[in-house]
Structure 1
């Protein structure tokens, strides 16, 4: 590290060698070394004596002296930047603050800078990151598809029946992105409406399709705030609700029959599969059948979008799969101490997972959906006409 710091300073001085005062003396020169300090790196504790720089240049706007700032090691830093980044992430993924010293002592060769207080101080940045996320401008982001769901992590939220309301969106390039995340009460209409209104206030457009479960609060709020958006019911939630209305002996057959519906090659075959389902189960279990027949339009809306996107639009799985990890992490920590800290932790976990999300299949078709192109049974209508 010492060699790298020396090289950094030498390059900085060489680049500014032409900066001179009225007497021809350089304005940027070496000025000895700082006091030695121990810095924790991935290779263990290292004794570092950083070089000093005397920079006599003055900022024309502020009138203040300019200063050399090392990109390798910040002033008074006791850990390399990489260590500072890794510690909060390890905490997020299951290592409690009190476990850092015994867990990392052998790996790093020492415990300097690894106290629980240090880790806790680093994690406070999450709250600032979450606050910035909540205030960001959405006018330049165009979300064509949106998944919406309410999840219940183990973190301590504000009220007994609170949950985390989550919106994930698909942008024009087909990439998935966390759109919004906030605390809500029982997935109520008011809670969803407050979140959606906040998104609209910050510039969000009506999405083309919103995928969600059977919670009526979401759909009522969408009709009020984003009335143009179409609705798609999640088949995973629907199948679960239907199965709950059936005895265990009938559930395997009903599950297979529902798969025939949402895996059908087109809307016509799906509608026939619904008729067959009703014929088989309506006499004994009319409530189970009603859950499908009464929501038929919302369950089959995905057929009016590109076939490449169907596998993504039939379910809220992008949220479910992401939050399975969140629930495990918040269970390990037994809460985050406060509602604000719990939401900040959930946000950072989702942000960490977001780096691994894949774009939806057929991303080139997303702009066509936003442009209003019409699809019939997953095929672009104009292409059908050209082929004819």
Structure 2
């Protein structure tokens, strides 16, 4: 219903007057999903803002439509040569069937020959290991990468062997941020 006011100056922002079709709702749901909200949180937010109920199933159906696009992005062909590739894992907690589990997101960021940053790959694994990194690096080779000049990584045990197995001519450099962070562990708080 359109709210009544005497001079007709009320103009709603979220749902315009006499608007019955809220077709842009799908984009809003996808945007909320991209920000990390759960399906339940999204349906509650939509109900709070728009005043109508959206089931968790509908939210899942809308977000599942993104899966083919995500798979296409993960399988896209890559450049043959990258001068610098940064690899690292980000650890986070996930609730799975009522239990909290630790997962690692393996992120590969590269600098292209034109000097632009590009995310090459993101994988989710149980924990960070050199064996898993070897599989991720081999997948890059399968997607067209023939050579990497420098791979910058943390000091994970076995990383040098994994990089040598995937890209034998590549230099492995220890990440300066990781070096500084590891060095500061041995410095007293008053000296930092």
State whether TM-score is above 0.5: yes
Counterpart in 2 of 1:43? 16
Q: CA deviation at 1:101?
A: 5.4
Higher-Rg structure is: 1
Residue 84 (1) aligns with residue 26 (2): yes
Deviations 1:208-228 (A, max 9, x none): 221111113332211111122
Counterpart in 2 of 1:128? 68
Contact 1:189/1:216 (8 A) holds in 2: yes
In 2, distance between residues paired with 1:166 and 1:90?
A: 22
Paired residue secondary structure (2:140): helix
Deviations 1:172-212 (A, max 9, x none): 23221211122345432211111111110121132222111
Normalised TM-score (structure 1): 0.40
Q: How many residues align?
A: 175
Distance 1:122 1:141, change over 3 A: farther
Counterpart in 1 of 2:153? 212
In 1, distance between residues paired with 2:158 and 2:125?
A: 11
The runs of 5 or more residues in structure 2 that have no matched partner are: 1-13
Paired residue secondary structure (1:144): strand
The match for 1:152 among 83, 91, 100 is 91
The runs of 5 or more residues in structure 1 that have no matched partner are: 1-40, 48-77, 253-388
In 2, distance between residues paired with 1:87 and 1:45?
A: 22
Poorly superposed stretches of 4+, deviation over 6 Å: none
In 2, distance between residues paired with 1:45 and 1:119?
A: 25
Alignment of 1:158-197 (within 5 A): 162-184=103-125, 186-197=127-138
What root-mean-square deviation, in Å, do the aligned CA atoms of Structure 1 and Structure 2 show? 3.0
More strand by share: 2
Distance 1:194 1:44, change over 3 A: farther
Normalised TM-score (structure 2): 0.74
Contact 1:187/1:217 (8 A) holds in 2: no
In 2, distance between residues paired with 1:169 and 1:44?
A: 48
Paired residue secondary structure (1:137): coil
Alignment of 1:104-119 (within 5 A): 104-105=46-47, 107-108=49-50, 110-111=51-52, 114-119=54-59
Deviations 1:5-52 (A, max 9, x none): xxxxxxxxxxxxxxxxxxxxxxxxxxxxxxxxxxxx8537734xxxxx
More helix by share: 1
